[in-house]
């Protein structure tokens, strides 16, 4: 049985310390319902006090507002954002919360490039 927890985040995008083709990471959720056996991110859940990465899903309910704060800042350099570095932003709960269309609209508004990785067909839904 899945457990959903709404949480508040302090920032939307996290600056990466390692050298990658992108500089920022954005994760709408923590935990992932897909339950992939090869998931490298499942161990990142322990700092939240949870060992159930696939069943205990955290939803960052204020992430859209926090992203707009970051993207509208005069210091924002429109660097590439990787969406879903440690969780799938189009996992089943996204069908209910519908956060990704709002994220994508902000990226377009602030002309910020992004990389999206997903295994879900929710990415195909029309943005309204």
The structural domains of the chain, with segments of one domain joined by +, span 3-120
Spatial neighbors of 99 by CB under 8 A, at least 6 apart, are 28, 59, 63, 64, 89
Length of the chain: 128
Q: What is the pLDDT of residue 127?
A: 61
Nearby residues of 56 by Cβ (< 8 Å), 6 or more positions away:
2, 3, 5, 31, 45, 50
The yes-or-no verdict on residue 19 having pLDDT over 80 is: no
Q: Which of 30-39, 40-49, 80-89, 90-99 has the lowest mean pLDDT?
A: 40-49
Amino acid 48: pLDDT: 59
55-109 pLDDT, tens digit per residue, is 789 999 999 999 999 999 999 999 999 998 888 899 999 999 999 999 999 999 9
Contacts with 101 (C-beta within 8 Å, 6 or more apart), sequence order: 125, 127, 128
Angle (CA) 92 66 16, round 5°: 80
């Amino acid at each position: 049985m899945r457990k959903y927890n709404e949480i508040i985040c302090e920032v939307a995008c996290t600056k990466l310390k390692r050298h990658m083709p992108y500089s920022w990471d954005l994760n709408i959720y923590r935990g992932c319902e897909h339950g992939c056996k090869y998931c490298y991110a499942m161990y990142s859940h322990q700092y939240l006090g949870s060992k159930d990465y696939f069943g205990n899903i955290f939803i960052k309910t204020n992430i859209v507002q926090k992203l707009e704060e970051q993207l509208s800042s005069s210091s924002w350099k429109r660097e590439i954002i990787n969406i879903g570095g440690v969780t799938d932003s189009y996992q089943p709960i996204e069908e209910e919360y519908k956060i990704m269309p709002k994220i994508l609209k902000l990226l377009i508004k602030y002309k910020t490039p992004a990389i999206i990785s997903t295994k879900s067909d929710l990415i195909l839904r029309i943005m309204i």
